[in-house]
Amino acid sequence: MKPLILTDIEGTTSSISFVRDVLFPYARRALPGFVRQHGRDPHVRRWLDQVATENGGVCSDDMIVEMLQGWIDQDRKHTALKALQGLVWEAGYENADFTAPVYPDAAKQLRAWHAAGFPLAVYSSGSVPAQKLLFGHTDAGDMTGVFEGWFDTAVGHKRDAESYRRIAAEVQRAPGDIVFLSDVVEELDAARDAGLRTVLVDRREDYDTPRTGDATNGHQRVDSFADITP
Ligand SMILES: CSCCC(=O)C(=O)COP(=O)(O)O
Ligand SMILES: [Mg+2]
């Protein structure tokens, strides 16, 4: 049986700078108007109320927006923030304010693996709708069709081994039949603790200094998807 390839997005299939310099500032700018316009829609309200509840309960929408903007600045991987960011980015993609860059080696290899029958899935802190938007609007076209599974922090955080056990259970695979690709060693450590195979994707565009020797913490390291043999 071919292993399932599970990939991270930011720093792995797409540049960190696209997420930090395009997506996050777009969400930061658009949030106040988005909350004014959609704050009463139940699928938006539930996330705003969750933020308010976690901060003592009584918060105006302006306060909630300020809190969320602070979390964007801190790169918090909070499920409510990630869900709201996804909803805000929807307009950005649909108005063609931006497309999502996917590294050419990643786009090519993901398509080749899919064509060769390797099952592919995504695991990112970005919400599943945000993941589908990103892969639906890449500079290499719509890539959503190559993936059969999508996972976000609803299964747990990426530095927690339990999240990878849940993913293995959901895709009905032994952990050893899954290869996880990421740029973050702590995420790979958690995946390895759960029994997954791991590959550190170490891109010069995202990291000045190669992670070699002890810095890989024993994970296989590649510069490009072309060097991965699943
Ligand atoms: C799904 S696109 C936006 C990416 C994002 O919000 C994020 O936090 C990136 O996290 P990742 O787990 O892909 O490194
Ligand atoms: Mg990453």
ipTM: 0.96
Beta strands at 4-7 and 178-182: parallel, antiparallel or unpaired: parallel
Residues 52, 132, single domain; the answer is no
Residue 11 backbone phi and psi in degrees, to 5? 85, -5
Ligand closest to CA 182: 2
Pocket test for ligand 1, best of 26, 74, 88, 125 (most atoms within 8 A of CB): 125
Give the per-residue pLDDT at 55: 86
**pTM score of the predicted model:** 0.94
Q: Which residues line ligand 1 (CB under 6 A)?
A: 8-11, 19, 23, 77, 82, 85, 124-126, 130-131, 134, 158
pLDDT above 90 for 216: yes
Mean pLDDT across the chain = 97
Residues 58, 121, single domain; the answer is no
CATH number of 145's domain = 3.40.50.1000
CA distance readout (Å), 43 to 47, 91, 109:
7, 16, 36
Closest atom of ligand 1 to CA, residue 182 = 14
Closest atom of ligand 1 to CA, residue 82 = 6
Q: Which residue has the higher pLDDT, 58 or 104?
A: 104
- Reported as a single tens digit per residue, the pLDDT across 44-62 is 999 999 999 998 888 899 9
Residue closest via CA to ligand 1's atom 6 equals 126
- Reported as a single tens digit per residue, the pLDDT across 129-141 is 999 999 999 999 9
Span 198-220, average pLDDT: 97
Encoded tokens for 70: 């602070």
- Reported as a single tens digit per residue, the pLDDT across 152-192 is 999 999 999 999 999 999 999 999 999 999 999 999 999 99
Please give the residue range of the domain that contains residue 203. 4-15+100-227
CATH number of 24's domain = 1.10.720
Closest C-alpha to 9, from 78, 118, 106, 93:
106
Span 209-213, average pLDDT: 96
Quick check: 161 and 193 in contact, CB under 8 A?
yes
Residues 54, 112, single domain; the answer is no
Residue with tokens 């080696």: 105
Count, residues in the chain: 230
Helices and strands, counts by H and E, the chain: 9, 6
